[in-house]
Structures are given as structure tokens and as C-alpha cells.
Structure 1
Amino acid sequence: MPRIKPWLTFTEWGQKYGDIAHIEVLGRHIIVLNSAKAAMEMLDSKSILYSGRPVLPMAGELVGWKDSLPFLPYGDLFRQHRRNFHRVIGSRAGMDVYNVVEEVETHRFLKRVLAKPDQLQEYIRHTAGAVILRISHGYEVKENNDPFIDLADRVVANASQATAPGAFMVDILPFLANVPTWFPGAGFKCLAHEWHEALEEMVSAPHKFVKDQMADGTAPMSFTSNLLEGCDMSAEEDHAVKWSAISMYGGGSDTTVSAIYSFFLAMTLFPDVQRKAQAEIDAAVGPDRLPTFADRDSLPYIAALVKEVHRWNIVIPTGFPHCVTEDDIHDGYYIPKGSLVIPNVWFMLNDPRTYVDPSQFNPERFLAKDGKEPETDPRTACFGFGRRICPGLHLADASIWISIVMSLAVFDISKVVENGVEITPEVEPLPLGTISHPKPFKCSITPRSATALGLIEQDADY
């Protein structure tokens, strides 16, 4: 199993062996899907068979993520978690009640970037965490060194490392979970213990914060308070609410950071796209106010730009593995029960058979033009498949949209010039982890005008 950028090796296998490739690692069957068609035929159309999750000894058992939604086996508890999500943020209309949260926190992001544009990635991470913690637990983060943000960022980064394909031998040889910590090569157990302690604190502390506020009658509306309100919950139901909320943070924070950071990279490299997007905002919104969600339907180019962000930088290039719950025969192939199925989402969204010139950042591929149909919406693949599709996709899409439209309304993003030389950023993902982040890069971020500067400096409060 490749450890470094496995999606590129998977792509080579697809080109050599076809859309469905099989490898066997120490008795474990692994199926790699290299086309959206194969993924939809198996993971969508046969979701009753392909909605299981493999037991991941490192991340699930040793670190402790087994109770979170992405790791739950398909069954009653999984469906309960999904119902929790659907009840609160399961639709675009359901997300509308949190529009003010998104708009205020993004406005605060603009202020931070204006003050210190060289700390762009840090501020994207802070804002993504602030939005999700406000929605999940009604918690308003501190401007600097917030304890929940710092802890949560650490926990999510640990999870990305723990779930990377082939990163830990214990995922291939589960019996290694039982070896003592002094055993040669068992350093992963010390790491897992450290990560487990941080995860337990992150799960329990915000939940207790909400329950204490509800007892005092001061709890703002949030995902957690909504689910707890007016219910005499059993310990099991309370546990499900607690882990549903942390699943929201774990699934939405780091992924959103990657997407928004890649947007700034794309604007640095493709100035023509930036100018077209800004022209649409200027025409539809005008220069005298910041865009809001009320403008969403009048900005089709921005909608296409958001789709291209999803396609151009694939946040989870190899998806999250499914597990086959019963033997299956698919397209003449025997798929044994217990097989891991890995969708190579990176290639699906970079397949030249589906996307013209896929390395180019071109939002217009998603607009009907000159009688041509738009290219395939990347959200059919990037948010997962079947019954395992991301339940927070409306939250993710809203967060990315408002960050993009507000940033373009007031900022010009361009290449940095150092000693008279223009620096062109490299399009290169960091090599490790389930969640792919662009390699850090430099860019220039400046207000578009004095009017834009005034809009940024306005108060941003609830």
C-alpha cells in the first residue's frame, strides 16, 4: 500500500488495470475504484451492501474515534447520528438559521487578514473552528489562543494522520494492538494514548459547556442545545448527541480549511478568474455593502467557482474507505465480504474523460455556454457516496461560499513580489494525512479600494 500520495499510485493502477483494481495485503482484500461510474454503481446503487466501515484499530479503537459518525458501522446507532444531523443541518433551508453566524465570523476573518495577511492559513483555521463551534455548541471563540480551538485543531490533525491509508501497520495486522508498549515497533501505542487523551477532552468539554449553560438558561441556539432541549435523555442518547456534535467538528473543520486555503492559491495563480468573479459581485451586490447569503442565487459565477474549488483541490483524495457487509458479484468480479473499498476521488475529479484540461482552474466548465452542457458537478464525488455521504455538506458548502464571496468583494489576491521578482506558488499538496492541504505559499492580499477598506473595518458583531 502506498503511503505518500496514494491517490497517484491508485491512478496508475487504474490506467493499467481498469476502473476496479484489487490488491491483497496480508490477507486483507482492498478494492480501489478509479471512476465515478464504478463508485456510483457500487457505493450508491448497492449501498445496502457497501455502507459498512472497516474497523481501523489505530484511529477507531486505540485513539477512540469509533463512536463518531464516520467510523460507526452501518446500523441503528449510525442512523440515529444521521437523524441528528438531518434534523438540524440536513438541508440548505435548515442552515439558514445559522447564516448570521457564518456572515459575522467571516467578516471577522476579513479584519484579521487585513491586519496580518501573512497569517492567512492560521486565520482560515481559526474562522472555520469558530463557525463550527458556534453552530455545534453555541460557543463563541476568543480572538486569540482560544483553548477549544487549539485543542480541536490538534485533535483533527491527529485524526488525519491516524486514518491515512497504510500509515500504521496495526491497521493491516490488528493483533499488534495487543502488544505491550515496550515491544519494539510499538511506539504507535504511546502516540495513540496521547491522541486519545486529547480526543476525550475535546468530546466532553464543549458538551459540558452546553449543558451548564442550559442549566443556567443562557445557552444560545446550537446543534447540541437543539438536540438536548426538552428531552429527558438516557445515557445512550446523550452519548449519541455528544459524539454527533464532535463528528460535525471533526468532519467539517479541517476540510473547510483545506478548501478555502486552496481558493486563495487558485486566485493567486488565475487572476482572470478572480476578475470575472469580482465583476459579477460588483454588478449584483454593488460596492456599498458586503455580500450576504441573500445574494447567493444572483451570483452564478461564484457558485461555479465554489464547485471548481471542490474539484481542483480534492480535500479527501482517497475518500474514506467503505466495507462490504456481504459477498457480492459486481460486473463479473467477486467482491468478498469484509473487503475495503477505496474510492480514488482525486482521479474521478481529474479524469480528462470527464473534465477538460483538469489541471486548469476554470469555473466556466460548470456553466452552460454556447449550447454545451456543464461538466459533472464535483459534489457528486467529493462529499462521499451512498449512505455514507457527508451529512454536513450543506454546512461545508455554505462556509466555503461565504468565505469566497466576502473575500473577493473586498480583497485583491495576487502573487508576492520579492526583490523585484514575482513569486509563483507551487501547486503541491502536503504528502501525508487523509485530508489533503495545499503546501504553504505566499500571496499578496490587499483591499480593493478605500470603500472596500471601510466595509472591512465596520463592526462585526452578532
Structure 2
Amino acid sequence: MFRLAILCLIALLAYRISKVLRRLPVPPGPRGLPVFGSALEIPKECSWLTFAQWAKTYGPIMHVSCMTSSIIVLSSREAIIDLLEKKNAVYSDRPIMTMAGELAGLKRLVAFAPYGQRHREGRKLITGALGPRKAPELHAIQEAKTLVFISRLTESPAEFRTHIRWLVASIVLEATYGITIDSYDDPFLLEVEKSLAEISDVSAPGAYLVDAIPSLKYVPEWFPAASFKRIARETRERSYALEDKLYQAARRQLDRGSATPSFVADLLKHNYDPTQDDHTLYAEVAVMFYGAGADTTVSSILSFFLIMATHPDIQRKAQAEVDSVTSGRLPICSDREDMPYLGAVLKEVHRCNPVLPLALPHYVREEDVYAGYRIPAGSTILPNTWAILHDPELYPHPDEVIPERYYDCSNGDLNPDPQDFAFGYGRRVCPGRTLAEDTLFIVAASVLASFNITSVVPLKGETIEYRGGAISHPDDFACGILPRRST
């Protein structure tokens, strides 16, 4: 009888709490259209700018209705810490992304997977492969490839964009699969580039109406206006085929006895008889190394070139620091802690133009209350990283490149490390952060030691803008890359 009374009391309290929650308002946001909400107002490109503009009217916690979907956009550091960090058990899931996750098949990958055992297993494999014990092997690959990159940049500086894409691809593919890529025309690389572009397109928030109306996924591909079904199918088929092709190439090297140390080779060597499920997990995790790190790191390096060309005073200060540490040799990864000014420059690279302006979406598992607002269960949470990194209350003069802003740490509320925002949040923070940061450092330091970057010229229009769906890239530009020994 006593237990029954307790259960009844709990049920009564839960009922009353639910009634109170239902009376609380959701966060403010644009009214949108009847039925459609704001689904038709979210642009396919640069949606982070639209969300940032709306936040000026509706505040840093904003509700955006898209048909049957409820989206909560977070545009403040405080809200992100309070929800995604402090309540990570509730906010660590991924929403059902109909276009990218279901139709294009990306929910199998660690970054898009629901929070659970499979996701944790994948992250554990990645963090093990990129931990301190593996650092010497990874640094050796990064330094060797960067040396070739500097040579190629000297021979044909006008092709710097192609050289950058080759460099990042060659580092990731060798570290992951033991595959050596000699040129940008390599078939592996061309396939990967096309697949990445498609993945970025299908994952862009608000880009496809099927994400707002999930029932559209049942429309046949031949139906008028159903081109999204063809796009999703082609993306899915290409990503699956590429995933298997890369993984099998690494396995064949191991079978022939010609495998160099790599993520896949190490897994297979230490697991002599993996099950088919193991092979599937290994292949899915391996392809994430490239999918998560290649395109984003290319964008960061391009931003570094752009900042150096447009801020010669910053470039000279960074070069002086590199010269004082290296004394005529090329930099190595272990020089990083001795180059604090360059480290501050790279923080500004992450802050001014974050490669993921909107972090990958989170999902609320259960009803929550925050700042007097109701956060409905099942809502998609979009952290607007771009808005945070351009908040003048956090970063005074946010549109200016000021590496020195990170020198004064006396006020903990000003100029926090942008890298704490640029790589995601809570239990979904990017496990490949170390690899990306080390690659950006060794490339930046080596370029500064070898070249002067000058004379930016936009190749599209009169200015250089940042565009993209999920990943932000600068418009094409040309710049002078002059060997320092000749100046």
C-alpha cells in the first residue's frame, strides 16, 4: 500500500509538472508562414548569417518552426555551455536528418550517428588512433608531406589551392589507410572530393524541404520536383562505394605485407579475426577521418593565406617568431609551444571564419526548461558558432584580426579560446581536433618560414566572401607567394 501511494504521488507530481511546462512559452523567433513556418526563409548557403541576423531581433535563444520540426538556435556562449556542456546527457543525441542521415545514408557515420553504443565505440577508435602515443607517427607524416608541399609551392605558386588540397588529402589518406597520393589528379582523391562536396550539400541546414516534411521521403524519385531523391541516392551510393574501396585498398596492402603504419592497418594487426560487424565499423570510422578533417582543414589553410596576404604586419611578426625558433631550418610540430604569437594568429583563423559556422545539430531527448522557456522534446538544437565568435561582447572589434587579443587573460569573459567553439560541443566535440590543429600549425609555420604572402585578388566579383552549406569556404582568390630568400 505504501509503495502504491508513493507511485501515485510521483505520477501526480509528474502530471502537474507537465502542465506547468506546457504553459511555458517556447523561445521567441520569426513567425514564418502558415503551415511552412520559416522553412522557405532559411537559405541553402550561409544560413548562419540569417540566423545571426534573426538573433538580433529575437535573442540568443531562438525558436524557428519548420513545418513539423522545432529548431532551437543558440547564439550565445552562456546558452551553449549551460545546455550542451552542463546538460550533455540530454543534448548529445543527433536529430533524424531525413536528407543526410536517412536518404543519403550518413547516419551510419560517427558524426551523424545517434548517441549510443555504436557512437561511443567509433569515438573510442578515433581517439585511440590520435592519442599521444600515436603523435610521433602522425607528426612524421605531416612534416614529410609539408616538405613536399613547400617544394611544390615554390615551383608553381599560382596553383596553391590545388597544392593545399593535395597536402591535406595526402596526410589524411596516408595516416588512415596507408595510401600514398602523389598528385591532385589521383583517382582516389578525385572520388573523395566529389563525395565530400555532395555530403556538404545534403547536410546543410534548411537546404532540403524533406528535412522539414519527412513524409516527402516516400515520394518516388521519378515524381516531379523530387530531384532530392536522386541527389540523396547518388550521394549514398558514392559514399558507400568509396568507403569500401579505401578500406579494401588498406586490407590488400596488409595481405601483401606492404602496409605502412595506418589507422586501418593497426586495427587489423591487433584484431586477427575481426567479425563482419567489426569490418563495417572500422570502414565507417576510417572514412570519417577524411570526411571530417580534409575539407575543413583546407578551408582553414586558405583562410590563413588570406589573412597573411591582407595583414602584412601580422605576417611579419609571425615570421620573426618562426625565424627566432627555427634558425634557418623548416619548422617541426614540436616547435608549436615555442611559437605563441603564431598560435594566437591561428586562433584568429578559427574565430574569423569558422569552417563549421553552424555546428552539427544536436537533439533534445526530453522536455527541458531554460531561461524561462520550454525546450520541446525532440527539438533540433543548432549552435551558431559563427555568431558566438563574432559577438562583440566576447570579442571586441570582432571583424578585425587581432592576435594580441588572446594575450590578456585577466578577464575570463573576454576573448575565450575560439578553438573551444570551432570543434563542436559536449560529448559531440570533434575527436579529430588534434590532427586538424597540428596540420594547420605545421603548414602555417612552414609557409611563414619560406614565403611572403601578398597581393590578394578576388577571382569572383569584387570581394572575397565565405560561402557554403555545412562547411564554409572563401571565394576563389589569387595571391602573390614569393620565396623569402629572393626578397
- 1:92 and 1:394 in contact (8 A); partners too: no
CA distance in 1, matches of 2:448, 2:301: 12
Name the structure 1 match of 2:109: 68
- 1:318 and 1:343 in contact (8 A); partners too: yes
- 2:457 and 2:477 in contact (8 A); partners too: no
- 1:426 and 1:441 in contact (8 A); partners too: no
Name the structure 2 match of 1:166: 206
Confirm or deny that 1:26 pairs with 2:67.
yes
Alpha-carbon distance, 1:116 to partner: 1.8
Confirm or deny that 1:428 pairs with 2:465.
yes
Name the structure 2 match of 1:103: 143
Name the structure 2 match of 1:405: 445
Which of 331, 336, 348 in structure 2 is aligned with 1:296?
A: 336
Q: Alpha carbon RMSD of aligned pairs, Å?
A: 1.9
Structure 1 stretch 210-219 or stretch 158-167: which is displaced more?
A: 210-219
Name the structure 2 match of 1:81: 122
- 2:221 and 2:230 in contact (8 A); partners too: yes
Distance 1:255 1:417, change over 3 A: closer
Name the structure 1 match of 2:26: none
Distance 1:74 1:417, change over 3 A: closer
Map Cα deviations across residues 419-457 of structure 1 (whole Å, 9 max, x no partner).
xxxx99834112x3100001111110010005x9xxxxx
Letter in 2 for 1:442: A
Percentage identity across aligned positions?
A: 38
Name the structure 2 match of 1:242: 283
CA distance in 2, matches of 1:274, 1:8: 29
Distance 1:309 1:425, change over 3 A: farther
SS, match of residue 473 in structure 2 = coil
Name the structure 1 match of 2:481: 445
Which of 32, 39, 46 in structure 2 is aligned with 1:5?
A: 46
Confirm or deny that 1:393 pairs with 2:433.
yes
Per the normalisation by structure 1, the TM-score is 0.92
Map Cα deviations across residues 380-402 of structure 1 (whole Å, 9 max, x no partner).
11100000000000001001001
Alpha-carbon distance, 1:218 to partner: 1.7
Map Cα deviations across residues 268-289 of structure 1 (whole Å, 9 max, x no partner).
11100000000011111112x1
Question: For this pair of structures, how many residues does the alignment match?
Answer: 443
Structure 1 stretch 257-266 or stretch 164-173: which is displaced more?
A: 164-173
Distance 1:51 1:363, change over 3 A: same
Confirm or deny that 1:126 pairs with 2:166.
yes
Confirm or deny that 1:264 pairs with 2:305.
yes
Name the structure 1 match of 2:55: 14
SS, match of residue 105 in structure 1 = helix
Provide structure 1 residue ranges, at least 5 long, that are not aligned to the other structure.
453-462
Name the structure 2 match of 1:321: 361
CA distance in 2, matches of 1:340, 1:331: 18
- 2:184 and 2:190 in contact (8 A); partners too: no
Distance 1:217 1:360, change over 3 A: same
Letter in 1 for 2:126: F
Name the structure 2 match of 1:455: none
- 1:118 and 1:442 in contact (8 A); partners too: yes
CA distance in 2, matches of 1:372, 1:426: 35
Letter in 2 for 1:448: R
CA distance in 2, matches of 1:43, 1:116: 45
Alpha-carbon distance, 1:259 to partner: 0.4
SS, match of residue 32 in structure 1 = strand
CA distance in 2, matches of 1:148, 1:412: 32
- 1:428 and 1:439 in contact (8 A); partners too: yes
Alpha-carbon distance, 1:266 to partner: 0.5
Confirm or deny that 1:53 pairs with 2:94.
yes
Alpha-carbon distance, 1:85 to partner: 0.8
Alpha-carbon distance, 1:413 to partner: 0.3
CA distance in 1, matches of 2:457, 2:291: 37
Name the structure 2 match of 1:360: 400
Alpha-carbon distance, 1:92 to partner: 4.9
Confirm or deny that 1:115 pairs with 2:155.
yes
CA distance in 2, matches of 1:19, 1:53: 21
Alpha-carbon distance, 1:151 to partner: 0.7
Per the normalisation by structure 2, the TM-score is 0.88
CA distance in 2, matches of 1:329, 1:447: 58
